[in-house]
Every structure is written in C-alpha cells, then in structure tokens.
Amino acid sequence: MAPELRHLRYLLAVAAHGNFTRAAEELHISQPTLSQQIRQLERAIGVPLLDRGGRAVRLTDAGAAYLPYARRAVQDLAAAERAVHDVTDLSRGTLRLAVTPTFTAYLVGPLTALLHSRHPGIAVRLKELPQERIEPALLADELDLGIAFHGPHLPGLAAMDLFTEALSLVVGDRHPEARRTTPLPLDELARLRLALLSGDFATRVHIDAHLSRYGVRPDVAVEATSINALTEIVRHTPLATVLPDALTRDRPDLHTVPLAPALPARTVTLLHREIGYRSAAARAFTELAVEWSTELALEWSQAQLAPHEHQLKG
C-alpha cells in the first residue's frame, strides 16, 4: 500500500504534539484509529518512524529523515488545491495575510478597503503576529503574505519594500508639548512620563535601542499591548507615547512632536516565499499595496513641503 495524504498529516500531527492523544484530538479521530494509520504508514515505508518507548512519542532517525519530505508533500498538495480553486479573474479567492501589530492601527484598514472595493469576492484571513512568527509561517505555507519591517529575513523569503515609517513623540491636546513647534531634545524626554508598547514589540525594542544609544532612561508609567490603548491613554492623560507618525495624520486630538536626534526610520516590507505557488489574490494584493504605498509616500512628502511653502509665501 502506498502512503496516502492522510497518513502524512497524521504523522505530522503526532510529531508536533509528541503524543497520540493530543494529536488525535486535533485531528478529530480516535486514538486507536490514529495508531492504526501510523502503523500502516510504517509498514508501507518499511521502517519504524516513531519511538513509542518513552514518556513522549519521538521520531526515530528514519522518522526524522522522512518528516521534512512529508511536510513538503502536504504543503505542495495544499498549494495545488488552492491553485485549482484559484480564479484568475478574482471573482473569488482567499488571501492569508499577517501583519505586525503597529500596522493594524493605520495600514490594514485602507489596504483591506482598497482590496474589497476592487475585488469584493476575495476573502481575507488576517492575523496580527510578531515578525518572528510571521516569517516561519510564510515558509510553512500557513500565510500568503506578511507585512513587517525590513532587515535580515529567513532564507527562502523575498521582501518588497513599500514605504518608510517615521516615529515621533505623540501627545494629546492637554499635554504641555502639544503646541511645540521645534524638535524636543532627546535628553528632555526623560522628564516626561510615557506610555509605551511592552518590550516584546519590535517598535518598543527599536525605541529602547535608540534611547539607550544616547543614554536616555525613559520614565515609563504604562506599558500596553495595544496601539489603540496607547492612543486612548494619551488622549485622556498627561502621558506621552512614541508611535508612527501615520497614526496622527487623521487624528486632530493627537499631536506629533519630533525628537532630536530623531528615531531612525524603518522600512515597511511585504514578505512572501521565494518559491511556491502565489495565488491570484496574493498577486492582486501585492499590486494594490505597491500602488497604495506609492500614493502614501507622495501624500506625506507634500504634507512635509506644505509648511515650508507657507513660510516662503509669508
């Protein structure tokens, strides 16, 4: 008997859990059925693939050698199924997209709206994940695209730069710095009480590294895991935060205060696998993301020029 797709899926589940009971629960089959199917696979291969002797079920040497091929076969067959069901006229389809958390507040809405207006039949499966989880998920074919930051990426991933993101101090209407017209020296930041993202966010790591470089120790009164929480805190308290400038562009109740030296800008990138099937939905979203980011960069450059033009006229 030749191995079948279900045998490979069952082996992957047992290897992932190290336990027949939990794997059977995930697969929604009984444990005896799962054990029987794995033994069928082992008979077909001709060698034991699992070591059942210890507390946890482990791969044998043969099983460890076999597993990557089994995983690749399952991924390839899943891609083949998507290719068969993919409609090139984009009347239907599914996009599996992940973004790092800061983008949820200002990027996901406009891009999703643009995709829906052009291709309403495409369903979006959106996840908010840290970058260190997005990249392995792309390689495992659990995602079609990821939006994250430029930098060293895992082998097998391709990155397309979209736009540059700047970060600044952000305060509410009642904050003393709300009407400031000159950059705030970085060493003066230490006298302000801050609300920042928690340390497991890439944005917080970026901020801490910059402040540490200049010997600034911030007074962090609040740590949060949500951009929306930070903006609400800043609106209703005398606390300040550090966030992407884009978050304040349509928020008259929030004010951006540039820092000196400024926080290093970050390049936003669109990630995908270098090889493998790319659905029509993924290709369409890529085109829209490039189009939108080009218009965004133009809008931002015009906004930066406007005050200078006004001063020249005056």
Per-residue model confidence as pLDDT tens digits over 100-133: 888 888 889 899 999 999 999 899 999 998 888 9
Question: What's the pLDDT score for residue 142?
Answer: 92
State the pLDDT at residue 263. 93
At 88, the pLDDT band (50, 70, 90 cuts) reads low
Domains and CATH numbers, the chain: 5-85 (1.10.10.10), 93-164+267-310 (3.40.190.10), 167-264 (3.40.190.290)
Tens of pLDDT, residue by residue over 274-312, are: 987 788 899 999 999 999 988 877 776 665 555 444 444
What number is the average pLDDT over the span 239-256?
89
Q: How far apart are the first and last CA of the chain?
A: 85
Beta strands in 156-313 (DSSP E): 157-165, 167-172, 184-185, 193-197, 219-224, 241-244, 254-257, 259-260, 266-273
Which position has the higher pLDDT, 255 or 314? 255
More confident residue, 33 or 277: 33
Contact between residue 163 and residue 297 where contact means Cβ atoms under 8 Å apart? yes
- Distance, in Å, from the CA atom of 162 to the CA atom of 147, rounded to the nearest integer, reads 9
The average pLDDT across 21-27 equals 91
Report which of 96, 201, 77 is spatially closest to residue 138, judged by C-alpha positions.
Answer: 96
Residue predicted with more confidence, 250 or 264: 264
Q: Kindly indicate the confidence band of residue 314, based on its pLDDT and cuts at 50, 70 and 90.
A: very low
For residue 313, the model assigns a pLDDT of 46
Rounded to the nearest 10°, the torsion over CA 199, 204, 210, 214 is -50
Residue 216 to residues 50, 65, 121, 177, 240: CA-CA distances in angstroms? 54, 51, 50, 19, 16
Could you tell me which residues come within 8 angstroms of residue 251 by beta carbon, excluding any fewer than 6 positions away? Answer: 231
Residue 125 to residue 137: CA distance in whole angstroms: 14
Retrieve residue 244's tokens. Answer: 């992407």
Q: Give the span between the Cα atoms of 132 and 240, in whole angstroms.
A: 28
Whether 2 shows a pLDDT value over 80: the answer reads no
Q: What percent of the chain clears pLDDT 90, i.e. is strictly above it?
A: 54
pLDDT of residue 1: 63
In whole angstroms, what separates CA 43 from the centre of its chain? 41
Do 204 and 276 touch, CB atoms closer than 8 A? no
Coil, strand or helix: which one is 184? strand
